[in-house]
A and B are shown apart, each in its own frame.
Chain A
């Protein structure tokens, strides 16, 4: 399952970034390796659960506020400095919603998975390393010199 989901997640992230946010993410595995510490500042975290019977897959995304501001600005056609914290959370949740929806169109060929609603929050400073450690696997990107990470956990 991991390989199919990982490939689909990568494709989905790439499509959503380029189609809706006009940004090109470049995969950078070294980023995930350097995130085991707590050196990052107050990042944003988004998460969404999908379920199939007793199975649950949780998908997370993490980014610094600078990138999320840019995402919100691009989708709302605003200047980054004119975006509000609510704009950022809204844009981030919608991006995750599209990423996971697109992912399910690839992996859920039997229409068995149920998708929840996206959630997002600002993490406390220095805790993103702890947050990313929840995931069983991670993919990480450089988006115009800003980091973006996604991860999955399944049970």
Chain B
């Protein structure tokens, strides 16, 4: 059974890059939902179960931290919630981890960076070998 993924980013270009990276890495994706910001993401999560959320932090309407806070309050943070963000502030990233995010990938990213961190939580895609650890699960 393939993954059900939700990509949350206000940039269509970035959502496209993330989706293509997942496909190129060989992850089996059954469904890939998209949301432009946290409010849209909540609507998607109301209607669909997902295995993985890949979310930006800086977004209009509802940012990634507010999305995590809302999900935490409702006790429904997906098990694999990973940030794909330009945010470099450790306090904000720690706050996100405290709310249930499992790690982060810094933009700009190499496809390998996203593959590695996702592999930790959903397993290796077919024919891929892990090398170094992901960039953002340890502070």
Chain A residue numbers with a CB within 8 Å of B109 are: 19
CA distance A34 to B15 in the complex (A): 37
A97 within 8 A of B: yes
B74 within 8 A of A: no
Contacting pair A115 B16 (CB below 8 A): no
CA distance A16 to B17 in the complex (A): 14
Contact of A20 among B12, B89, B108 (CB under 8 A): B108
Separation in Å of the A151 CB from the closest CB of chain B?
19
Contacting pair A98 B108 (CB below 8 A): yes
B interface residues, how many (CB within 8 angstroms): 24
- Given contact pairs A98-B86, A102-B107, enumerate 20 new A-B contacts (beta carbons under 8 Å): A19-B108, A75-B13, A75-B14, A75-B16, A76-B12, A76-B13, A77-B16, A90-B11, A90-B13, A93-B11, A94-B13, A97-B58, A98-B108, A101-B86, A101-B106, A102-B106, A104-B88, A115-B86, A117-B10, A117-B58
CA distance A72 to B14 in the complex (A): 10
CA distance A93 to B16 in the complex (A): 15
Tell me which residues from 78 to 127 in chain A have a Cβ below 8 Å from any Cβ of chain B.
86-87, 90-91, 93-94, 97-98, 100-102, 104-105, 108, 111, 113, 115, 117
Chain A residue numbers with a CB within 8 Å of B60 are: 117
B91 within 8 A of A: yes
Count of chain A to chain B residue pairs whose CB atoms are closer than 8 Å in the complex? 70
Specify the chain A residue showing the minimal Cβ separation from B87.
A101
Specify the chain B residue showing the minimal Cβ separation from A77.
B20
CA distance A117 to B92 in the complex (A): 16
* Chain B 5-30 interface mask (CB, 8 Å, partner A; 1/0): 00000111110110010000000000
* Chain B 42-71 interface mask (CB, 8 Å, partner A; 1/0): 000000000000000011100000000000
A28 within 8 A of B: no
A15 within 8 A of B: yes
Tell me which residues from 58 to 115 in chain B have a Cβ below 8 Å from any Cβ of chain A.
58-60, 85-92, 106-110
Contact of A98 among B90, B107, B110 (CB under 8 A): B107
CA distance A140 to B14 in the complex (A): 25
Contacting pair A111 B91 (CB below 8 A): yes
Separation in Å of the B86 CB from the closest CB of chain A?
2
Contacting pair A115 B12 (CB below 8 A): no
Contacting pair A101 B12 (CB below 8 A): no
Contacting pair B13 A91 (CB below 8 A): yes
Chain B residue numbers with a CB within 8 Å of A15 are: 108
Contacting pair B58 A108 (CB below 8 A): no
Separation in Å of the A44 CB from the closest CB of chain B?
14
CA distance A16 to B106 in the complex (A): 11
